[in-house]
Structure 1
Amino acid sequence: MAKGIRLLVLDVLKPHQPMVTELALGLSELNGVDGVNITLVEIDKETENVKITIVGDNLDYEEIVRTIEEFGGVVHSIDMVAAGKKIIEESETPQDRLEEF
């Protein structure tokens, strides 16, 4: 039975090296991790801002943060988290529509 954290979306600042491919492989080896996506959001002279999406079962947030830090990264924020038996898709609310104006 699925339990614990099943989805994490993290805003991370990392140096150019190691490459995102190495970070993705490192995160994918952690217990409970089924998949890792890393998307480059912004790049500057020395750093990259990336969005890291991790799915799995009973994800260990502290272990994930430690691994990111070992690769030279810093977690700026948790942008999304899902827990429980099922991952629920986000729905648009009236407040979301107000942001369009």
Structure 2
Amino acid sequence: MSAPLRRLVLDVMKPIKGPSIIEVAKSIASLNGVEGVNITVKELDVETATLNVTIEGQDISFEKVEDLLESLGCVIHSIDQVITGKKVVEEPDIED
């Protein structure tokens, strides 16, 4: 049995003429295992929006998130953070 995914941070490209970020966030939030979604627009151009998508929950299915985003016309560019296990481990704040 694998450990549950607790947080995913994704770099996602969404077509401007596609669904709004509100619709994307609500769609992701409706998935089983998802407790919260935060979407921030990082960049806009004529045809696309680059989004930072943070998803938190008790047992997130990456495959379901990926399938949903693809069905909405979005593309995952990268997985920027993954937290899994029995508890959420935050990055330590290290000063130089």
* TM-score over 0.5 for the pair: yes
Aligned residue in 1 for 2:51: 50
Give CA deviations for 1:30-81 in whole Å, capped at 9, x if unaligned: 0100000000000000000000000001110011000011111000000000
Aligned residue in 2 for 1:24: 25
- SS across alignment from 2:26: helix
> Which letter does structure 2 place at the counterpart of 1:29?
S
- SS across alignment from 1:91: coil
Q: Which has the larger radius of gyration?
A: 1
Equivalences for residues 1-101 of structure 1 within 5 A: 3-16=3-16, 17-93=18-94, 97=96
Identity among equivalent positions (%) equals: 44
Q: Provide runs of 4+ in structure 1 moved above 6 Å.
A: none
**Structure 1 length-normalised TM:** 0.87
Task: Extract unaligned runs of 5+ from structure 2.
Answer: none
Task: Extract unaligned runs of 5+ from structure 1.
Answer: none
Bigger share in strand: 2
**Structure 2 length-normalised TM:** 0.91
Q: Using the alignment, how far apart are the partners of 1:48 and 1:38 within structure 2?
A: 11
Provide the aligned length of Structure 1 versus Structure 2.
Answer: 93
Q: Using the alignment, how far apart are the partners of 1:80 and 1:91 within structure 2?
A: 14
